[in-house]
Amino acid sequence: MSKKRIDIVFGTRPEAIKLVPVIQRLQQDPDLLPRVVVTAQHRDLLDQILGPFGIQPDIDLDLMQADQSLNQLASKAIQALGASYERDRPDLVLVQGDTTSAFCAALAAFHLDIPTGHVEAGLRSGNRKQPFPEEANRRMVSAFADLHFSPTATSTAALLREGIPEKKIFETGNSAIDTLTLVLETQDLNEPDKAEVLVTLHRRETWKGDSGGSFAGILNTLVDFAKSHPEVHFLYPVHPNPNVRGPVSAICQGIPNFQLVNPLDYVPFLKAMANSRAIVSDSGGVQEEAPSLGVPVLVVRDVTERPEGLFPGGNRLVGTEAQDLKQALQDIFEEPRRETQGFPQPNPFGDGQARHRIHGAIRHFFFGEERPEPFLPAPSFE
Ligand code: UD1
Ligand code: UDP
């Protein structure tokens, strides 16, 4: 029997973090030939993740260009990926999440009648423009995909509602929790020297101000809070996007307890998360990781496609208005320090075993083996 060729395609930091355990699991199967294909529009952030995990891309399309538009990136990616698939004819293309790389990889595969598997399928905010363009990207990938790896019962339910056949959906948990769990098994994340508030903000609707509040308003709120609470140490690893860096440099520099740094490597970032009292973020992945670390995320967005994290003591959807963020920070700093035991076990997003279920589903697809057990039982719909 010839080995089944799987092209795992991605281009950004969060995809890399979530696909690392999946790649490692597929590499262990002698019946499979997984190849890592990177579009690499996150040249710096991607290399920062792949290096420490020892993942060497088989194909690097190197599509990074400073501040490029979505259409520039998409057109280059579809063309380059199409040529790569035509040359190597994978039996399956694997994509993750909701980025331009995921959408283009799935579309290019569909055009060539190559099946696609979608890791982290079925997340829905219900608002086509938030996050933009990610909500639309993931809906479009669902339209092309043959295998839907939904992380939770909520995402399974969303896919079923949209008419995706149940037999094509595999509820796996989110592989972000595999990556995190693998780190937690080998490293102590506690550090004596801690930041109290960790900040990450990078979404288009945040810096464009397309949500309720403005980016400047959010940044000024953080800075004002830092100035009025000099004992609270803020740490902000700033995304390399020039649309983020510009306003952050203009507004947040020169405040002694507000530290601006370059994006952190994955494990140092987890340490910063684990040792914070609160995280202010519009990130998707950070919302998923935080419950494992016992730290609440103040989600600076109007909607989230990750409602599983919104539980008492957990993440809080604070919106994008300055006043609401200020109030949320005040609430946190008036409360006694939270302990991890208060958080649900396991993490509602995953149990660290998603890679095995994804691998099992792929074997089911290729070789007709039994379906893997789901992460959580899917809700039934009449
Ligand atoms: C993309 C994803 C988004 C994800 C985010 C993670 C899409 C449509 N969006 O955001 O879902 O949350 O990545 O970070 O795919 N830059 C560098 N070096 C890097 C990375 C970025 O210089 O390593 C600069 C470039 O000028 C680049 C700009 O930042 O053009 C924007 O990058 P990024 O924010 O990653 O792109 P998005 O599409 O906004
Ligand atoms: N992350 C990191 N270093 C940083 C900031 C984030 O390693 O300085 C990790 C974080 O732990 C999470 C992922 O990057 O796994 C989230 O990426 P990002 O917020 O860029 O994208 P999103 O999840 O919003 O798509």
What topology does CATH give the domain 197-334?
Rossmann fold (3.40.50)
CATH 3.40.50.2000 segments of the chain: 4-184+350-381, 197-334
Q: Is 193 exposed, middle or buried (0-12, 13-18, 19+ CB in 10 A)?
A: exposed
Q: Which ligand is nearest to the CA of 203?
A: 1
Nearest CA to ligand 2 atom 13: 14
Is the pLDDT at 210 greater than 90? The verdict is: no
| Given the residues 7, 120, 205, 288, the one annotated as active site | 120
Higher pLDDT, 313 or 91: 91
- Position 376 scores a pLDDT of 73
pLDDT, tens digit (0-9, with 9 covering 90-100), for 329-363: 999 987 666 554 456 667 999 999 999 999 999 99
- Indicate the CATH number for domain 4-184+350-381: 3.40.50.2000
Torsion of CA 94, 132, 283, 301, to 10 degrees: -150
The verdict on whether 239 is a catalytic residue reads yes
CA of 45 relative to ligand 2 center, distance in Å: 9
The verdict on whether 364 is a catalytic residue reads no
CA of 364 relative to ligand 2 center, distance in Å: 31
- Are the C-beta atoms of 262 and 238 separated by less than 8 Å? yes
- Position 193 scores a pLDDT of 64
Which CA distances in Å does 275 have to 150, 175, 301, 377? 30, 23, 23, 33
- Within 10 angstroms of residue 67's Cβ, the number of other Cβ atoms is 8
pLDDT mean across residues, the chain:
94
pLDDT, tens digit (0-9, with 9 covering 90-100), for 146-169: 999 999 999 999 999 999 999 999
The SS3 assignment for 315 reads coil
Q: How big is the CA angle at 336 (ends 335 and 342), to the nearest 5 degrees? A: 100
Is the pLDDT at 381 greater than 60? The verdict is: no
Asked whether the bond before 312 is cis by omega within 30 degrees of 0, the reply is no
The region of weakest confidence among 27-41, 91-105, 188-202, 334-348 is: 334-348
Return the amino acid letter for 353. Q
pLDDT, tens digit (0-9, with 9 covering 90-100), for 263-289: 999 999 999 999 999 999 999 999 999
- Position 340 scores a pLDDT of 47
Which ligand 1 atom lies nearest to the CA of residue 11? Answer: 15
Report residue 1's pLDDT band, with 50, 70 and 90 as the boundaries. confident
**pTM for this predicted structure:** 0.96
- Position 146 scores a pLDDT of 98
The verdict on whether 67 is a catalytic residue reads no
What number is the average pLDDT over the span 252-256?
96
Distance CA 235, CA 217 (A): 18
Distance CA 101, CA 321 (A): 31
CA of 3 relative to ligand 2 center, distance in Å: 34
Which ligand 1 atom lies nearest to the CA of residue 241? Answer: 29
Which ligand 2 atom lies nearest to the CA of residue 18? Answer: 15
Is the pLDDT at 46 greater than 50? The verdict is: yes
